[in-house]
Structure 1
């Protein structure tokens, strides 16, 4: 259904329902009927204002795609989310029209449903206005605003004051595939574990993030619960001994790999060796000395067959996600076991030290050390030493890229490729259209994201929940109060508890090789005594009663290339192995992947970008819960297989590069997208175009 048909259906539905509930002999009486009338009228008002804005974005968003084959960027995502909201409203409105005469029709419930989606539509309208300003104020062709002050700071303040509870109640996860929504509701319920864990352990952001990303999955999948009781094979490295590796440019010269020392000094690194077959070397005395079996002999703990297989030519080194502050290799084990079995290769997953106790660059040091150790000790892992791939999701995707950058800098062997799923590549708080989705994302809200990044950067520990007595009492009081509210609101289809928890936190917040800035004033901004206004005079988004205090930290550590590889100079990106990025169209971090893929292509580095639809950030952790998430996990698996089986850059890369050269100038931006936005909006509604 095209946009015109969507809006026509919406207007027709709203007018018909409003007419029924506002007059006529069959009109129901009561407050709920009037609420429905008022909501239908308000929805029409929002829709009439949104229609030209959507038309404008639809005319220009293709200019921000990675290439003509990959239709994805933050502007597209915002338009898609708005259309999805409109379709949900139409569906619910038609249900009301079909059942409103029934004696079983729950008018108050239906009024609440429509009010929730009306509020969501209002806030989405605000996001589109903010994206419109971003389009006009940003540098030409760039998805990110290049400064921390000004527009980025303004967006942060808007996030702090805008009402977000409407996205976490009846509307939670409406933008995602229907198969994943029950899982999101279970994760919402599982957030109560944050309160319980905090009271028991008085730990901070790691517990919060761990609950956020992992709670709920065990309630949905009994097999996952059962796996938690299986013994696992754990390796420990004592990081006190340096070792040498040969240089790639001259194998007769050696490079010394020093053990990690940042922040906490020499310490153990825990890893899991996952293998579907017992391979030569995996039962060696040297490896056994590094192992701790949590349930019996190594053969039993790995679930391996008695027959020993020859070493595999392939090895996957995996870095888990979790915002640098949470999760372990074990929390990712379900899909990693599947990968190991399908590939017929061992997989080494690293439990790097977590922030805030071990901030940057500790995790990077440990991941690089383990990668080099695996290269040197391949015979212990059931691997011939031939091909190695780095794989990771979110924060782990960041570590895959930065470990490879460090390997380039040291001159040691590079991995044969990288598979990075929805990676965190820019750790600043720069504004972008996809990052506006953090206002409504149930798994990656900006308040949680900013605290994770601040903890990784080693900034104020208060961002990780101070353990002072007064702060503990305040937080526990909120947990107790809001836990009770959660169960009450879930009965009503809303979970405002999440809103209050997330809004009570503080947040914090280069080098760009892009086209020069084009200064075009946003048509929706107006000057007043308080400065530029973000929205038209006739519109104001819903505001929270208590605004969170949002601050943008401008510490230069966020712009360190080993923390934010998108900001790395060209010379640091040249020489990287092939990078395969698997991103999510509805992920607040989508623009990170799009812009990084463009940067790699611009320096002629082999790169592919695949964008999966209708799934949230973190889908690998939910891979056992639906057909869609399993298929997305298989996309990541096939990218790894391609790294192992390809000698040259993948055909897809070569074809894309050829297409870019052929179409250069022919399919480029003819005129600035901001100007095309205004032209399309005016033409759509019969206005004169100057």
Structure 2
């Protein structure tokens, strides 16, 4: 086959793949997940991509939907007990920001994970994502340092990764002050927070600083390629869809060639800490998470990857009402406990 014919055949195959995904029915949510999606729809939120950032931050969230499901079931929507939370302040390049220290019951000193919330770098905060660090603190018997980094568009890239790294450095320096063990520190986060966790790992590697013991990446944003199979298949998914991602990228203002904005653009992922990756089937970001896991493996990084069927982006913090979320939290907590235990040997 000559070169021209080969290229034509490859192009045709690519178009056929896109067409296949375009006409395939989107994955179906399981019963637990569907309850949350129905509750979210009933709260009457407007499409994020049609709003200003200020308006978007006032919209009902998946966390609000979980609370509604619990209330409708006659259950308490109060935060899970067994964890204490206190606020502390970190000085960052863009000014001071808050971190919230989630401490489980026990004596310590505890291992620590610096946790970065999701929200596309624009919306949400540590309070929106309270359920995730709260659950992980209990399940991993570790302190979670949840970071309220500066958000775009008021603070465009690289403000968020700079804050994220400042929080990591601060944790290493101050862990003993909140009963943490500075020799056992990991990083993790969801969506945009997963991006920040792996970017902090890159920054530590590039600065030849202390590496995190592990990076927990829950459906991380690592690319701006919106033509992947999962973007095509889940273009209209809830609660995250393709138009929303375009809106987030526009406001974030990240340099598309900079791996600190989009880690999949990094020329090498060698030397990064072991990664645990959680993926959701009904998520535009599914394909890039899989690709990132493969890239890490190719560059010699140990990866533990798990995809959960029938659930959507944002499912991870829904352990109170979605069984697969509780399973994913346990998967993440077990990985953290293993990494922390290995550090003491």
TM-score range, shorter chain: 0.7 to 0.9
Q: Look up the match of 2:181.
A: 384
Q: Is residue 37 of structure 2 the alignment partner of residue 192 of structure 1?
A: no
* Structure 2 CA distance for aligned equivalents of residues 340 and 212 of structure 1: 22
Counterpart of 1:271? 99
* 2:248 corresponds to: 452
CA contact (8 A) 2:84 2:103 kept: no
Q: Does residue 282 of structure 2 align to residue 586 of structure 1?
A: yes
Ranges in structure 1 where 5+ consecutive residues have no aligned partner: 1-131, 144-150, 168-172, 240-258, 279-308, 459-556, 649-690
Output one character per residue of 1:263-321: Cα deviation in whole Å (capped at 9) or x when no partner.
xx4x221111011237xxxxxxxxxxxxxxxxxxxxxxxxxxxxxx2412x11110111
Residue 351 (str. 1) matches residue 204 (str. 2): no
Cα distance in 1 between the residues matched to 2:86 and 2:245: 32
Contact 2:236 2:242 in 1 (8 A): no
Q: Which has the higher strand share?
A: 2
Between the aligned partners of 2:213 and 2:250, the Cα distance in structure 1 is 32
**Counterpart contact for 1:224–1:334, Cα < 8 Å:** no
Deviations 1:109-167 (A, max 9, x none): xxxxxxxxxxxxxxxxxxxxxxx9784369xxxx9xxxxxxx9xxx9xxx9xx9xxxx9
CA distance in 2, matches of 1:435, 1:621: 22
* Native 8 Å contact 1:205 1:452 kept in 2: no
2:116 aligns to what?
319
Counterpart of 1:214?
Answer: 63
Instruction: Please report how far the alpha carbon of residue 398 of structure 1 lies from its aligned counterpart in structure 2 after TM superposition.
Output: 0.5
Task: Check whether the contact 1:317–1:349 (CA below 8 A) recurs between aligned residues.
Answer: yes
1:226 alignment partner in structure 2? 78
- Give the corresponding residue for 1:668: none
2:234–2:282 contact (8 Å) kept in structure 1: no
The answer on whether the counterparts of 2:308 and 2:324 sit within 8 Å (CA) in structure 1 is no
Report the CA distance shift for 1:616/1:632 in structure 2 as closer, same or farther (over 3 A).
same
1:429 and 2:225 aligned: yes
In structure 2, how many angstroms separate the alpha carbons of the residues matched to 1:584 and 1:186? 19
The aligned counterpart of 1:182 is 35
Give the direction of change, closer, same or farther, for the CA distance of 1:273–1:232 in structure 2 (3 Å limit). closer
User: Cα distance, 1:174 vs. partner?
Assistant: 6.7
Q: Distance in 2 between matches of 1:442 and 1:632?
A: 19
Distance 1:443 1:310, change over 3 A: closer
Specify whether residues 614 and 194 from structure 1 end up closer, same or farther in structure 2 by C-alpha distance, changes over 3 A only: closer
3-state SS of 2:289 partner: helix
Cα-Cα RMSD: 3.1
Q: State the partner residue of 2:294.
A: 598
Retained in 2: the 8 A contact 1:422–1:583? Answer: yes
- Show the counterpart of 1:247: none
Find 2:319's aligned residue among 623, 636, 639. 623
> 2:313, 2:262 → 1: CA distance?
18
Contact in 2 for aligned 1:624/1:630 (Cα 8 Å): yes
Contact kept, 8 Å, 2:117 with 2:189, in 1: the verdict is yes
| Mapped partners of 1:202, 1:581: distance in 2 | 29
Offset, 1:215: 3.6
CA distance in 1, matches of 2:105, 2:329: 22
Deviation at 1:234, TM superposition (A): 1.4
Match of 1:236 in 2: 89
Alignment partner of 1:331: what SS? coil
1:336 Cα deviation (Å)?
Answer: 2.0
Shift of 1:231: 9.2
1:622 Cα offset (Å): 2.0
Q: Distance in 2 between matches of 1:376 and 1:349?
A: 16
Q: Is the 8 A contact 2:150 2:159 kept in 1?
A: yes
What is the distance in 2 between the residues matched to 1:231 and 1:410? 33
CA contact (8 A) 2:140 2:334 kept: no
Q: What number of residue pairs does the alignment pair up? A: 326
Aligned to 1:641, the other structure's residue is in SS state: helix
Structure with the largest fraction of helix: 1
**1:373 Cα deviation from its structure 2 partner:** 0.8
Distance 1:455 1:135 in 2: 35
Q: Deviations over 1:385-421 (max 9, x none)?
A: 2211111111111101001101111111000111111
Tell me whether 1:577 sits opposite 2:267 in the alignment: no
> Distance between the aligned counterparts of 2:12 and 2:158, measured in 1?
32
1:564-611 Cα deviation digits (max 9, x unpaired): 1111002xx111111111112332211111111111122222222211
Q: 1:566 aligns with which of 243, 246, 264?
A: 264
SS in 1 for 2:305: strand
Task: Please give the alpha-carbon distance, in whole angstroms, between the structure 2 residues aligned to 1:218 and 1:193.
Answer: 19
Whole-angstrom distance in 2 between the partners of 1:343 and 1:439? 34
8 Å Cα contact 1:191-1:212 kept in structure 2: no
Distance in 1 between residues matched to 2:230 and 2:322, nearest whole Å = 25
Contact 1:388–1:416 under 8 Å retained in 2: yes
Cα distance, 1:326–1:384 mapped onto 2, change above 3 Å: same
Gaps of 5+ in 2: 1-9
Helix, strand or coil for the counterpart of 1:582? strand
CA distance in 2, matches of 1:455, 1:202: 8
Instruction: Decide whether the 8 Å contact of 1:194 with 1:207 is kept in 2.
Output: no
